[in-house]
């Protein structure tokens, strides 16, 4: 056990409230923020996931397909309500606390953008579908998405101060309310329209809570209308806004295009697979949120510390992603059967294809944030723009022939293209060094541990267990193998 771990445990035992509620140092702050975000995302994602499982089972593939199609459509427009200003707000306030004085102007800008995005959603609904039920869902879910997006600007303030525990409490509240309202609807008024209203109700409750708390405990809410501040924020944020738009395209366009082509059932199958994929992406999002303020701060303070923290960021991503993908590939049929039922077996291959995308999603995150903290947002925009174009072209070719499997392949290729460009841009336009011997060595260790996990889990005696036990055995084998390989490495070094 190294000294950092010993000190961390000692601090938790001696003063747990300080450790989990105060910022005491770089590693402790990252650990604290990650802890709270893990708690929030763990609880909220679990509750939402359980709800979606029952939605898919009770409403069936067709009705669930309608809901997924409407949700994908409104999600495509959500970026217009943010326009990249949340990430810019976190970066700017983390680097210079005095800029908090301009927050009222950012808040008013957010309100205007949200109103504009909702108008676009309602207007676009008349062109994407002739079904009045789906169109009504689009309006309701549009309001839900916009309210959720508005909360992000408050979360951006918390992240800049590195106080993610406040964000965690709000997200847990919303998830609890949504799950309670959702199950009430499913068991009493089962329909996709009623379910949409449950989503909207939960978002409203969470927003009221977070605004009241923010106003009385953190920063007095007020609006400002300084056009110079608006201009400055938008000049910095527009590349991120376009990045978000194109990112949403290659995340949501698959479902939208299948729905437009009349493949509603296939949308249900595809989104059933994508919901599980979404659960695997949660750790990457949590780690990224925790690292971003720290990296933004270190960019101004120390290149050496920034490189060290960024290397640690990449190593964490590799540590998580390889066993997730290897285990997911092996256990895909059992996972789909456990989560849904036999009517969703067509989701299995799509799930396995999308797992390849997860690899590139994880390892792209450090490069994405490296460019943002280096004020290279335009490079991120070009990478996502290229990915979106590739995805649309491939969808037009592959979806008519291969339906959801063509959509999954298109998504994977798009993510590979985006990662390749982000890697190249980071190497060329930042002072960070993406590759080093230590990273390569860790990759080899993690790969060998993942292979050991595969060999054990693929054995019939383990594979035929309940899928939860199979996963637990896989995790245990992976961790034991990793510790064993690290011990061997240390002994090898000593012998040299």
pLDDT at 187: 86
Confidence class for position 22, pLDDT limits 50, 70, 90: low
Nearby residues of 217 by Cβ (< 8 Å), 6 or more positions away = none
pLDDT at 35: 75
Q: Show the tokens assigned to 181.
A: 């309202």
pLDDT at 423: 93
Q: Which ranges in 129-191 belong to alpha helices (H)?
A: 132-160, 164-188
Placement of tokens 């849904």 in the chain:
340
pLDDT at 18: 53
Which carries the bigger pLDDT value, residue 494 or residue 295?
A: 295
Task: Decide if pLDDT at 2 tops 50.
Answer: no
The chain-wide mean pLDDT, for the chain, equals 82
pLDDT at 380: 83
Q: How far is CA 56 from CA 147, 259, 264, in A?
A: 25, 17, 13
Can you give the residue ranges of every domain in the chain? 25-435, 436-496
Number of Cβ atoms within 10 Å of the Cβ of 106: 25
pLDDT at 4: 47
Q: How far is CA 141 from CA 64, 167, 418, in A?
A: 14, 22, 29
Cα 274 from chain centre:
12
Nearby residues of 156 by Cβ (< 8 Å), 6 or more positions away = 85, 86, 87, 89, 90, 93
Q: What is the pTM of this model?
A: 0.68
pLDDT at 1: 38
Confidence class for position 5, pLDDT limits 50, 70, 90: very low
Cα 216 from chain centre:
30
Average pLDDT over residues 103-118: 87
Residues 386 and 330 sit within 8 Å (Cβ to Cβ): no
Confidence class for position 296, pLDDT limits 50, 70, 90: confident
pLDDT at 348: 92
Average pLDDT over residues 151-169: 80
Considering only 19-28, 101-110, 266-275, 455-464, which range has the smallest mean pLDDT? Answer: 19-28
Average pLDDT over residues 304-324: 87
Average pLDDT over residues 2-13: 48
pLDDT at 455: 94
Nearest CA to 198 among 188, 215, 185?
185
pLDDT at 362: 92
CA–CA distance, 58 with 182 (Å, rounded to integer) = 12
pLDDT at 100: 75
- Residue % of the chain over a pLDDT of 90: 18
Confidence class for position 16, pLDDT limits 50, 70, 90: low
Task: Decide if pLDDT at 137 tops 80.
Answer: yes
Crossing angle of helices 227-260/26-77, nearest 10°?
A: 60
Average pLDDT over residues 123-144: 86
pLDDT digits (tens, 9 = 90+) for 416-425: 999 999 999 9
Task: Decide if pLDDT at 10 tops 80.
Answer: no
Q: How far is CA 423 from CA 103, 265, 291, 418, in A?
A: 33, 37, 18, 9
Nearby residues of 372 by Cβ (< 8 Å), 6 or more positions away = 87, 91, 240, 292, 380
Which carries the bigger pLDDT value, residue 415 or residue 296?
A: 415
Average pLDDT over residues 22-50: 71
Q: Which range has the top average pLDDT, 5-14, 292-301, 335-344? A: 335-344
Confidence class for position 3, pLDDT limits 50, 70, 90: very low
Nearby residues of 308 by Cβ (< 8 Å), 6 or more positions away = none
Confidence class for position 326, pLDDT limits 50, 70, 90: very high
- Residue % of the chain over a pLDDT of 70: 91
pLDDT at 246: 73
Task: Decide if pLDDT at 102 tops 50.
Answer: yes
Q: How far is CA 121 from CA 131, 152, 160, 229, 407, in A?
A: 15, 19, 30, 27, 24
pLDDT digits (tens, 9 = 90+) for 195-204: 888 888 888 8
Q: Show the tokens assigned to 433.
A: 């060094």
Which carries the bigger pLDDT value, residue 36 or residue 330?
A: 330
Confidence class for position 469, pLDDT limits 50, 70, 90: very high
Number of Cβ atoms within 10 Å of the Cβ of 67: 25
């Amino acid at each position: 056990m190294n000294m950092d771990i010993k000190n961390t445990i000692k601090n938790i035992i001696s003063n747990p409230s300080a450790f989990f509620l105060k910022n005491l140092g770089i590693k402790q702050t990252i650990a604290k923020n990650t802890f709270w975000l893990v708690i929030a995302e763990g609880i909220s994602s679990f509750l939402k996931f359980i709800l979606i499982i029952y939605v898919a089972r009770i409403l069936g593939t067709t009705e669930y397909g309608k809901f997924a199609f409407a949700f994908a459509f409104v999600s495509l427009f959500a970026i217009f309500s943010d326009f990249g200003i949340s990430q810019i707000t976190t970066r700017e306030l983390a680097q210079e606390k005095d800029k908090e004085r301009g927050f009222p102007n950012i808040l008013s800008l957010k309100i205007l953008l949200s109103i504009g995005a909702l108008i676009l959603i309602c207007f676009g609904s008349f062109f994407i579908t002739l079904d009045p039920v789906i169109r009504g869902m689009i309006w309701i879910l549009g309001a839900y998405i916009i309210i959720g997006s508005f909360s992000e600007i408050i979360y951006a303030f918390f992240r800049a101060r590195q106080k993610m525990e406040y964000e965690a409490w709000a997200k847990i509240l919303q998830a609890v309310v949504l799950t309670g309202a959702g199950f009430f609807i499913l068991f009493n008024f089962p329909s996709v329209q009623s379910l949409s209203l449950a989503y909207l109700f939960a978002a409203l409750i969470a927003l009221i809570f977070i605004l009241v708390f923010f106003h009385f405990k953190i920063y007095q809410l007020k609006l400002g209308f300084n056009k110079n501040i608006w201009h400055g924020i938008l000049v910095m944020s527009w590349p991120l806004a376009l990045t978000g738009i194109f990112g949403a395209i290659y995340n949501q366009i698959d479902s939208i295009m299948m729905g437009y082509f009349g493949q509603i059932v296939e949308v249900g199958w595809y989104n059933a697979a994508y919901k599980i994929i979404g659960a695997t992406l949660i750790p990457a999002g949590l780690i990224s949120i925790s690292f971003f303020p720290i990296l933004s701060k270190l960019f101004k303070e120390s290149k050496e510390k920034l490189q060290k923290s960024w290397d640690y960021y990449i190593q964490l991503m590799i540590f998580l992603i390889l066993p997730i993908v290897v285990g997911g590939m092996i256990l895909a049929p059992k996972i789909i059967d456990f989560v849904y039922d036999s009517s969703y077996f067509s989701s299995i291959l799509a799930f396995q294809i999308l797992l390849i995308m997860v690899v590139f999603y994880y390892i792209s995150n450090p490069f994405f944030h490296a460019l943002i903290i280096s004020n290279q947002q335009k490079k991120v925009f070009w990478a996502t723009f290229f990915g979106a174009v590739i995805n649309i072209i491939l969808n037009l070719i592959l979806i008519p022939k291969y339906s959801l499997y063509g959509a999954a392949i298109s998504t994977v290729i798009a993510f590979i293209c985006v990662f390749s460009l982000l890697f190249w841009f980071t190497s060329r336009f930042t002072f960070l060094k993406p590759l080093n011997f230590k990273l390569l060595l860790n990759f080899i260790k993690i790969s060998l541990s993942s292979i050991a996990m595969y060999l054990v889990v693929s054995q019939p005696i383990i594979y035929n267990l309940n899928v939860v036990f199979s996963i637990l055995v896989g995790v245990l084998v992976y961790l034991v193998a990793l510790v064993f390989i690290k011990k061997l490495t240390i002994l090898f070094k000593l012998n040299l």
